[in-house]
Amino acid sequence: MIPAAFFLVLSIVLFVLGVAAFFIKRDLITMFLAVEVMLNSASLAFLTFAGSTASLDGQVIVFFVITVAAAEAAVGLAIILVVFKGKKSIQCDDLDVMKG
Amino acid sequence: MIISRDRAHSVLFLVMAFAALGGVFGLLDAPFVAAVQVLVYAGAIMVLFVFVIMMVNGRDARRPEKKKSVGILAAVLAMGLFAELLLAIRDIFPGMGNTGPSGRVDTAGLGSLLFGKYLYPLEITSILIIAALTGAISMAGKRGPK
């Protein structure tokens, strides 16, 4: 048996790594991957609490998280493609149209 | 994923990480969620990412990160966030007890919950998927000005 707190700490580590990667990396695809990491850490936290309270509702929530992540990945990647067609670059430093 | 300069390497590392996370899900008495994680996440979504990287990988693929100070600031803030989150969950540590593979796997109960209590969210999610697919195709599939 593994203490449930370990899983929770792992989920926190994943979330913090996702946040750090989101701010450190400068191209849109890698920032998007960081968002996926954060979503997965949320799933892990849900599953941890589902396991420690012996309820199945957490697993259902994780299904919805995965589904929403798939939809979000499709739309986000389409947006990235459109941006790339327009600007020929996906570095977020180049997207300064709305900079005051 | 953070330190790799190449986007394709980042995605491959992330595939490995998600597959490993599927193993962790399996440890938490959720074998069906683990299978879905490996199939959908490490399979489908990451293939989507690899395709887009193949389409957009151009001359700026390996441009070095410009601002060092932003990276340091982000790392410091991330450590702060880590400490805050640990403080936030510190109080519930003793009450959580142990978890792990206990043999009481209830995939049938999961299915009846998904199609019983959570039927309406499931249907709404399918509508969301269709809307997202339609939007993605109409955005990315239109011909650009030649």
Q: Which residue of A has its CA nearest to B26?
A: A47
- Give the DSSP H or E segment for B61: none
- Give the number of domains in chain B: 2
- How many angstroms separate the CA of residue A57 from the nearest CA in chain B? 8
CATH topology (fold) of A4-94: Helix Hairpins (1.10.287)
- In our burial notation (b when 16+ CB lie closer than 10 A, e otherwise), range B111-144 reads eebbeeebeebeeebeebeeebeeebeeebeeee
Asked whether residue B48 is domain-assigned, the answer is yes
Among the partner-chain residues A24, A59, A90, the one whose CB lies closest to the CB of B71 is A24
Q: Give the domain-ending residue among B58, B79, B95.
A: B58
Q: What is the C-alpha to C-alpha distance for residues B65 and A26, in angstroms, rounded to an integer? A: 7
B47 at interface of A, judged by CB pairs closer than 8 A: no
Give me the percent of chain A exceeding a pLDDT of 70: 98
* Interface contact flag, B110 A56, Cβ < 8 Å: yes
Asked whether residue B93 is domain-assigned, the answer is no
With a threshold of 0.90, does the pTM exceed it? no
Q: Give the domain-ending residue among B31, B58, B85.
A: B58
Average pLDDT of chain B to the nearest whole number: 81
Could you report the per-residue pLDDT of A42-53, keeping only the tens digit for each?
999 998 888 877
Asked whether the predicted pLDDT for residue B98 surpasses 50, the reply is yes
Q: Which of B31, B28, B32 is nearest to B98 (CA)?
A: B28
- The band of B146, judged by pLDDT with boundaries at 50, 70 and 90, is very low
Asked whether residue B81 is domain-assigned, the answer is no
Q: What is the C-alpha to C-alpha distance for residues B40 and B59, in angstroms, rounded to an integer? A: 31
What range does the domain containing B53 cover? 1-58
Query: What residues of chain B, 60 to 79, have a C-beta less than 8 Å from chain A?
Result: 60, 63, 65-66, 70-71, 74-75, 77-79
Could you report the per-residue pLDDT of A4-51, keeping only the tens digit for each?
788 888 899 999 999 988 888 878 888 889 999 999 999 999 988 888
Q: What is the C-alpha to C-alpha distance for residues B117 and B115, in angstroms, rounded to an integer? A: 6
Q: Which of B14, B16, B11 is nearest to B53 (CA)?
A: B11
Could you report the per-residue pLDDT of A67-84, keeping only the tens digit for each?
999 999 989 988 888 888
